[in-house]
Structure 1
Amino acid sequence: MQALTVLEGLPSLAERRTDARSAYSQEREPLMRTVAHLIKPNRVWVHPDHTVETALILLRGHQLTGLPVYDGQQVVGTVEYAQLLGVSPETPVSEVMYREIPHYTPETPLRTVAEWFLNTRRTFLPIVQEGKPVGSLTVFDLLPEIGRSYDPMTGLPWSDTLREWGIEQLSQGREITVIFFDLDNFGAFNKRYGHLVGDEVLRRVARILVEETNPETDIVCRWGGDEFAIATLRRREEAGLLAHYLSRQIASIQIPDVDMPITVSYGYQGGKRTREREQVHYAATVDNLVNLASQECMLMKGITPARGGAQLTLPMQAAVEPRPPERRIRIQTVSYEREGRRAKARVYLQIENRVLEGVAEGEARLHPLIAEAVLNALRPILPPNLTLSLINASETQGETGHAVVNVILLWENGEVRQELVGSALMRDDVARAVAAAVLDALNRPLTRILESL
């Protein structure tokens, strides 16, 4: 199943915050680093009719890696030192020059230019603004920038890139959601299998996060150690489904001679605002979303983040080396009866020899009624101070042609409020798939509850 991609229409810059921005444009923090930070003026160039010998003399004399090729006031190509070696000195530049030049300006993000250098294996790039050449950039100019911003082991950018991306999106009136991932028991994993195997796990996780996200709406980074983060333009609900799907993909990683499961905890925060914010500090907003998402991730692990020194009652248990629970909840039967605009859902679950029955009646909407019936069946075994409610139940289409049922639940226990996400592949029985998705969302907390029964 491909990760979900849902993006609401993005408002134009003219429609949002025009007046508010002008008031504090001087106080905004610097956004993503662009070509303007590193661009150098073009002091020498060649004409298409010049010879390779002339180009090499200029390159060597000025210790350059490349030259722009000018025809009048326009850049029509480039030549690079390595490209000219071995070419007859009398050959016109026009016969060997690179003619494909991307239209990058001083406002182009450095990350975009770095990707172009990587994909084309070129070393020199002229920069044009309003049809006129304004300077150039080489791959060697970017090396210090790339070294600071990218993790060489996973190939992912570090957190500063995500932060700059988030600031840029917020400054353009868009909303973002941050998903924070933390591998479970990774310290114990490294001690058991060694850092070489641990590094391979990190690379596999990074590959999954990149392959299952959309670069047009998402950015992935390595936050540090065994932590990763994604910032996305998806709605909060879709970000939750994406996080859940990615956690399943990570759990499917197989490493030779490794029998310890690879699991991940996650948290996510963000989504649509209910009203406009003025004089907002974008960097602080991004940092706050990351902090909240990481706290939610800690809750999933079973680690209590301090809030004024108070200890919270957690819905999740620490993910120690998992083993199949001794007591499992199984779906016996699921029924859905409709009469006009009303319907009744009935679910029977089984725990060993105990049968739990849940009923829900209301408007004829299959997915939410089945989900509510499952929650009602579970209430007798849930702690009395726990409130469990349905936020959303829906279907999406997977690559295999099968639909996938997704549910989002809200777990409230004292001061703790956390969204739980579950999904199940729908084959023939829609109602049973909804029930399975609810149990999937409750997988970790139910394990702890069943052990206490």
Structure 2
Amino acid sequence: MNISEIMTTTVSTITSDKSVSFAAEKMNAYSTDALVVVDHGELMGVVTSRQLRSTHPNRIVADAMNVLPIRISPEDDVWETHALLQEHDDELLLVMNEEELVGVVTREDVQLKVAEFIDPLTGLYRAPYIQYMGEKLLRKGKPFHMLFIDVNDFGKINKRYGHPFGDDVIRMFSAALSEWQSNGDTYLCRYAGDEFVLITTASDEWVKECMETIDKPTPINDVMVSAAVGHLDGFREPDFFDKPLREHIARASLLSTKAKMNKESMQL
């Protein structure tokens, strides 16, 4: 999902020489918490209501404004913009088509849209997120590893210990998986139920270590929990870019099932 789908093209502006009190009045009049500062057609920065509150009303906008606001493109995706906002405290982002201001988007706009795709139990993104990120990598011609992760015997865990305990297992397992997201282009989602999908462009060694960790039984509230992992290697898969992401997910899912069956046969 691109920023163009949530941005607004209506931009409220002010000049840098206006007083802080005038800027506050203009914000009230336009029911906005931020104004774009433009002098003689030149983009100067952004001023927010928070910045106005910390500046004396007799000062001018130039004294309060942020001269280095975040600039993004209409083609930037919402999820990466959300990640960018975690590192900055900007309330208003400028949407630029090269050097032309074409719209604005607020932090709240981004957060509300992202919230639609977050799983409430785990805090992870849901399936549409991994679909978007995977398709984006395919369009760019960037190969990746895909791990389809399926918690072993989750149905039995629910039946034996109850669904609230099962929810605890999913939450804690998700938290453990989340620790693997810090390596480069790595994306994770709760795909469905007790299934997760991880996409990464990391090295073979990193993927191997990740799989070994996930495969190893881990105690969660005194219950040993493990998962089967289906690994699809886009760096070695024939015709990888000729197939849709849906087919890759299906293949990784089948590999996960095969891994689970192999483990069960070894235990017999």
- The interval holding the TM-score normalised by the smaller chain is 0.7 to 0.9
Q: Does 1:66 align with 2:29?
A: no
Q: Does 1:298 align with 2:245?
A: no
Q: Secondary structure at the residue paired with 1:98?
A: coil
Letter of the 2:263 counterpart: M
How many residue pairs get aligned? The number is 268
1:180 is displaced (CA, Å) by 0.7
Measure the CA separation in 2 of the matches of 1:205 and 1:70. 49
Measure the CA separation in 1 of the matches of 2:141 and 2:108. 35
Give 1:178's match in structure 2, choosing from 122, 134, 146. Answer: 146
Q: Does 1:137 align with 2:105?
A: yes
Letter of the 2:131 counterpart: R
1:287 is displaced (CA, Å) by 0.9
Residue 287 (structure 1) aligns with: 246
Q: 2:18–2:61: 8 Å Cα contact kept in structure 1?
A: yes
Q: 1:235–1:271: 8 Å Cα contact kept in structure 2?
A: no
1:156 is displaced (CA, Å) by 1.6
After superposition, residues 427-446 of structure 1 pair within 5 angstroms as 445-446=265-266
Residue 38 (structure 1) aligns with: 6
Measure the CA separation in 1 of the matches of 2:258 and 2:215. 16
Q: 1:52–1:88: 8 Å Cα contact kept in structure 2?
A: yes
Alignment RMSD (CA, Å) = 2.7
After superposition, the Cα gap between the structure-2 partners of 1:293 and 1:115, relative to the gap in structure 1 and judged at 3 Å, is: same
After superposition, the Cα gap between the structure-2 partners of 1:147 and 1:223, relative to the gap in structure 1 and judged at 3 Å, is: same
Residue 165 (structure 1) aligns with: 133
Residue 316 (structure 1) aligns with: 263
The structure in which a higher percent of residues are helix is 2
After superposition, the Cα gap between the structure-2 partners of 1:276 and 1:229, relative to the gap in structure 1 and judged at 3 Å, is: closer
Letter of the 2:199 counterpart: A
Measure the CA separation in 1 of the matches of 2:183 and 2:45. 29
Gaps of at least 5 residues in structure 1 are 1-32, 303-314, 318-444, 449-453
1:238 is displaced (CA, Å) by 6.1
Q: 1:240–1:268: 8 Å Cα contact kept in structure 2?
A: no
Measure the CA separation in 2 of the matches of 1:62 and 1:73. 21
Q: 2:7–2:104: 8 Å Cα contact kept in structure 1?
A: yes
Q: 1:182–1:265: 8 Å Cα contact kept in structure 2?
A: yes
After superposition, the Cα gap between the structure-2 partners of 1:273 and 1:50, relative to the gap in structure 1 and judged at 3 Å, is: same
Q: Secondary structure at the residue paired with 2:72?
A: coil
Q: Deviations over 1:212-257 (max 9, x none)?
A: 2445232111102111111122477864553223333xx33x44xx
Gaps of at least 5 residues in structure 2 are none
Measure the CA separation in 2 of the matches of 1:167 and 1:290. 11
Look at both structures and tell me which one has the larger radius of gyration over its CA atoms.
1
Q: Does 1:264 align with 2:227?
A: yes
Q: Does 1:216 align with 2:184?
A: yes
Q: Deviations over 1:37-61 (max 9, x none)?
A: 2221243212222112222222111
Q: Secondary structure at the residue paired with 1:135?
A: strand
Relative contact order: is structure 1 or structure 2 higher (C-alpha 8 Å, sep ≥ 6)? 2
Relative to the length of structure 1, the TM-score reads 0.53
Deviates most, 230-239 or 120-129: 230-239
1:263 is displaced (CA, Å) by 1.2
Q: 1:150–1:156: 8 Å Cα contact kept in structure 2?
A: yes
Measure the CA separation in 1 of the matches of 2:134 and 2:144. 7
Relative to the length of structure 2, the TM-score reads 0.86
Q: Deviations over 1:185-219 (max 9, x none)?
A: 22333344444443333233223222224452321
Q: Secondary structure at the residue paired with 1:137?
A: strand
1:286 is displaced (CA, Å) by 1.1
Q: Secondary structure at the residue paired with 1:300?
A: helix
Measure the CA separation in 1 of the matches of 2:37 and 2:248. 47
Q: Secondary structure at the residue paired with 1:289?
A: helix
Q: Secondary structure at the residue paired with 1:120?
A: coil
Q: 1:236–1:272: 8 Å Cα contact kept in structure 2?
A: no
